[in-house]
Structure 1
Amino acid sequence: MKKIFILAIAALSLTSCRLDLKPDSDLTYNGYWDTEEAVRANRVGIYAKFRDYAYTLWRMGEVRSDIWNGKTIETAYDELLIVNDITATKVPYTGWASLYTMIHYVNDYIKNEATAPGTGSAERNRMLGEVYGIRAYLYFTLLKNWGDVPIVTEPLTGAPDAETRNKKREPKAKVAEFIKSDIQKSLDLFGSNSSLYNGKNIYWSKPATLALKGEAYLWFANVLNTGNADLVEAKNALTQITGFSLVPEFKNLWGVTKENNSEFIFAFDYQVNQATHFLNGVLTGRKIDVAAYYDKNGNSLSDFVVSGGNRYGINDKIINIFENDPEDLRAESTFMLMYANNNGGAGYPHYNPANYKATMWLKFLGDVEDGSRNSYTNMPMYRYADVLLMLAEAKNKLGEDPSSEINQIRKRAYGANYNNHIYTNSSVDANTKAILDERLREFLGEGKRWWDLMRAGGNYIFQEVPSLNQAPISGNPKKLYLPISQGMIDADPNNMTQTDGY
């Protein structure tokens, strides 16, 4: 494959002051699209680049929520995000988090695929459906973070034409319509093909686009207040996803040998000699530190194989949710509490804050091979549990009974003790809280909690995240969106305006 993807990304400069659509050099070589094999190679490159954004997407979807202000072994990352100390002068993800760099690659594919040999074949339509789905996801991410954002559909070409250099921020409603359009294009291109490419969930698919449609239309209805029509669309999209099922035991979702399972719909792919999982570097620990600690049963961790970092720590709220519900089997496969001592050999059958040191993340931990811990466990973006609980959201908002979907999740979570935890339909508010609680437990550490709370609408996010009720957010819903930097505004005052509320 030609090395188009290792061209100087600095040429894009999308982390600089403005959305500059004129790079210093062309990113598309003449002749690159002359063969079908080149088109296939470009598609592979898109997935490689998309994977590079996994950590950023995880941070965006979880760090500002009610999870990560607990103890860490090393200096914590993202402290400003964790406490929501975000202002016009304390701006995270400057330059739109470089998401327009990724959008360039997608736009480049869409434009050039149309004139490359073989366009219009079933294979090429499927590939193009994948790319439109990814672009819709990228713009949905921009919408969720910043609200009003520029819409760019052309690749960077190096053309000096001034009117292609910069773009204004489009209103949220227009961005939502663009996302809807890309979702529909993706579905049309997939047609009746709902299969996974080569049977693998590491490629975008029609079910992935349907999952995205469900999530996006729930957002439009609940956050942008577009009404019940979008709730119906969300419900219909989610009910069209077939061919997937819950893995019978939650613990069997995680691990290199278990990732091509019946539940994952789309996952970022990690492979030896390609890319390693980012979470081990921030949610586990260094062996020299971990070796001094003990698990809750009083077992020494001196022989625990790990080589990472410990930069995010779950808080007492999260620990106590599982502490107060010991029949929930998900905790034992999600995290391990580490203690300073073994309590005289008795361990700590109940949470002991005084001697608790930090959390070892078990979800995505990886397996031990030849004396070392691998970091190649794939990270799901969508899995069937997500579909079920989003379907519960849609049904609840439409005044329908969501208990069937909630109970499918609980049946796996509680195993033999499920009968003690059967959920019965209640009010819309009570159902919403139950769904949020179920999603918190099910997707902890998967980069979803912040979006879940925002998508719920109303005041749920302010009820669950105390820092949002303090300065500088001070309960202002406009500040749930992110600001852009003053440098971006100063460099392009005719186009760039600050996010409303800052």
Structure 2
Amino acid sequence: MGFYIRSVGITIIFFMLQGCQNLDIKPDSSISNESYWSSEADAESALNGLYLRMRNSFTVHNWMYWFECRTGNISGGLQPGGIQSFIDNALTPNLTDANWQPFYTVISLANAIIHNADRITFSQPSRKDDVKSQAYFVRAWCYYNLVRLWGEVPIVTAFIDSDNHEQLFPTRSGIDEVFQLIKEDIGLADDLSPDNTPTEKSKASRAAIMMLKADIYLWLARVLGESNGALQVADRAINEVLSSNTYQLAENYENIFTQDDNNEIIFSIYYDLLENSNQYGSLLGQSRSLVPQAYQNNPIPVGSNHTMQFSNLFYERYRNRTSNDARAEVISQDMEISGTNFRWTNKFMGEMNGNIRVFTSDTRIYRLAEAYLFKAEILAEQGQFVEALSYINSVVKRAYGMDDFYTSVSNKEELNNILLEERIIEFAGECKSWFDMIRFGEVFNRVPSLAGREKDKQGNVLYFPVHVNSFSANPNIKQTPGYE
């Protein structure tokens, strides 16, 4: 059952959040303490609204611009639009999609749930804990992405219920302070989460919480150099996921993307024909106006435009890295027609609604293959190379058709190279590669537009600038050094 049925009665939540623009976080009477938070049904509606807000706040471009386009693995399509600034890592404060506001729109509702759930009497106390756990999970996910994209960011944790609230015009907080909040939030999500797993992959199960926790603590260990047990926290979290009997690796790579209920998927963002059928896969399909009619959706999937595609660099370094990789044509295909090369992905291609393709594939956030590769990464950090290879081989078996594709490595550098390249291939187009390159310390080596730019923008070239609208909305916000 999708959000369409569950969301009846919560539409008001979206209207009441529309006034929250660019951290001009004004209170809204629609969710004041006196008028809204009075029953368990209110909390359940708000939680459903949180996931819809998580989907609807981020435009179709946000995902790819934030997490993929800066890697060198994406190039402009036949109708590229404004993608080149991201490909070139030449970001400016006026780029529409370099704006942090969508995250704060989601955070504002998470804050409302966290602060008001305790006012409500639930039929079962464990249900209240679950609602709060999911809200903490979503808030942690938002701040985790914010701090990695912008560095110092404003922290807003309060339920803004008055025009003179102290958090109404926040300043940017330091990276360490933001990560402290993230650790607290994912810790509370962990503590409050029930043992049972929700049947819907579009809600935060305990396994989803553990995946995010492992993700966070791997970043703390490998990027921020936190040595006080961060790697061990990540290991415990991922071990819990791997010991679950709920998930299993799909035998066929293509099925992961054609079946939204595939048992490999741990957490996803829900799309549906009746609500939102514009998942970002539409950017990687082909343009209906360009593909000859005889080939439209047979075999070339078409949508409204062709903004981006996998680059030649991606083909040469990753897609064609190993012959007979069963993932290759799922990730990307080419067909030349009358001198024009049409390139598209077979991931996230949705479904046909009559003769029109609608992009209703769910966005995969975490799947079991990543748990295996997180475990391999942890083992590599611990110097357990043979064990790490076994987890990599478990994932790539379906790609290469053999149990032990990788038999040995001579050092940690070689193992990390294998891990990073397999992650880039396995999760191509799934919004993982940008952060993977940073976590593995390879972003300046592998991204052509970043070569030799380690000190560019006063050392902040990997971060987004603050969008120009944020300054007019909040005079306490300062621009990232190097982008003034």
TM superposition shift of 1:453: 0.7
Aligned with residue 395 of structure 2, among 389, 409, 412: 409
Q: Which stretch has the larger CA shift, 162-171 or 202-211? A: 162-171
Matches of 1:237 and 1:291 in 2, distance apart? 50
TM superposition shift of 1:270: 1.2
Matches of 1:43 and 1:301 in 2, distance apart? 37
Aligned with residue 480 of structure 1, among 449, 452, 462: 462
CA contact (8 A) 1:4 1:28 kept: no
Instruction: Rate the CA distance shift 1:245–1:133 in 2: closer, same or farther, 3 A.
Output: same
SS at match of 1:250: coil
Matches of 1:263 and 1:487 in 2, distance apart? 40
Matches of 2:138 and 2:16 in 1, distance apart? 23
Amino acid at match of 2:309: G
In structure 2, what is the equivalent of residue 347 of structure 1?
Answer: none
In structure 1, what is the equivalent of residue 38 of structure 2?
Answer: 34
Matches of 1:389 and 1:373 in 2, distance apart? 33
In structure 2, what is the equivalent of residue 318 of structure 1?
Answer: 314
Instruction: Rate the CA distance shift 1:162–1:475 in 2: closer, same or farther, 3 A.
Output: closer
Cα distance per residue 1:254-276 (max 9 Å; x no partner): 22xx2212210001111221111
In structure 2, what is the equivalent of residue 290 of structure 1?
Answer: 291
Instruction: Rate the CA distance shift 1:285–1:107 in 2: closer, same or farther, 3 A.
Output: same
TM superposition shift of 1:356: 5.9
Q: Map of 1:251-330 to 2, 5 A cutoff?
A: 251-255=254-258, 258-291=259-292, 304=300, 306-320=302-316, 321-330=318-327
Matches of 1:148 and 1:133 in 2, distance apart? 20
Amino acid at match of 2:450: L
Aligned with residue 66 of structure 2, among 43, 60, 63: 60
Amino acid at match of 1:330: R
CA contact (8 A) 1:73 1:357 kept: no
Matches of 2:18 and 2:248 in 1, distance apart? 43
CA contact (8 A) 1:219 1:455 kept: yes
Matches of 1:365 and 1:449 in 2, distance apart? 20
TM superposition shift of 1:9: 4.4
TM superposition shift of 1:231: 1.3
TM superposition shift of 1:288: 3.7
In structure 2, what is the equivalent of residue 216 of structure 1?
Answer: 216
CA contact (8 A) 2:21 2:101 kept: no
Amino acid at match of 1:187: D
Aligned with residue 75 of structure 2, among 66, 69, 73: 69
TM superposition shift of 1:34: 1.6
CA contact (8 A) 1:365 1:375 kept: yes
In structure 1, what is the equivalent of residue 20 of structure 2?
Answer: 12
Instruction: Rate the CA distance shift 1:94–1:441 in 2: closer, same or farther, 3 A.
Output: closer
Matches of 1:438 and 1:324 in 2, distance apart? 10
TM superposition shift of 1:136: 0.6
Q: Which stretch has the larger CA shift, 47-56 or 448-457? A: 47-56
Cα distance per residue 1:159-206 (max 9 Å; x no partner): 122633211211111111111111111111114x1x331x22111111
Cα distance per residue 1:193-224 (max 9 Å; x no partner): 1x331x22111111111100111111111221
Q: Which runs of 5+ in 1 are unaligned?
A: 295-299, 342-354
Amino acid at match of 2:477: M
CA contact (8 A) 2:288 2:303 kept: yes
In structure 1, what is the equivalent of residue 109 of structure 2?
Answer: 105
Backbone CA RMSD of aligned residues = 2.6
TM superposition shift of 1:418: 5.4
In structure 2, what is the equivalent of residue 336 of structure 1?
Answer: 333
CA contact (8 A) 2:288 2:305 kept: no
Instruction: Rate the CA distance shift 1:475–1:467 in 2: closer, same or farther, 3 A.
Output: farther
The answer as to 2:414 corresponding to 1:430 is yes
Matches of 1:356 and 1:238 in 2, distance apart? 46
CA contact (8 A) 2:16 2:31 kept: no
Identity of aligned residues (%): 26
Q: TM-score if structure 1 supplies the norm length?
A: 0.86
Aligned with residue 51 of structure 1, among 52, 55, 72: 55
SS at match of 1:154: coil
Q: Which runs of 5+ in 2 are unaligned?
A: 1-8
SS at match of 1:259: coil
Aligned with residue 382 of structure 2, among 380, 388, 398: 398
In structure 1, what is the equivalent of residue 182 of structure 2?
Answer: 179
CA contact (8 A) 2:286 2:300 kept: no
In structure 1, what is the equivalent of residue 233 of structure 2?
Answer: 233
Amino acid at match of 1:329: A
Matches of 2:325 and 2:43 in 1, distance apart? 47
Matches of 2:216 and 2:123 in 1, distance apart? 29
Amino acid at match of 1:498: Q
SS at match of 2:366: strand
CA contact (8 A) 1:65 1:449 kept: yes
Number of aligned residues: 466
Q: TM-score if structure 2 supplies the norm length?
A: 0.89
CA contact (8 A) 1:91 1:484 kept: no
Matches of 1:335 and 1:327 in 2, distance apart? 14
Matches of 1:480 and 1:90 in 2, distance apart? 17
In structure 2, what is the equivalent of residue 196 of structure 1?
Answer: 197
TM superposition shift of 1:372: 3.4
Instruction: Rate the CA distance shift 1:254–1:486 in 2: closer, same or farther, 3 A.
Output: closer
The answer as to 2:478 corresponding to 1:497 is yes
SS at match of 1:290: coil
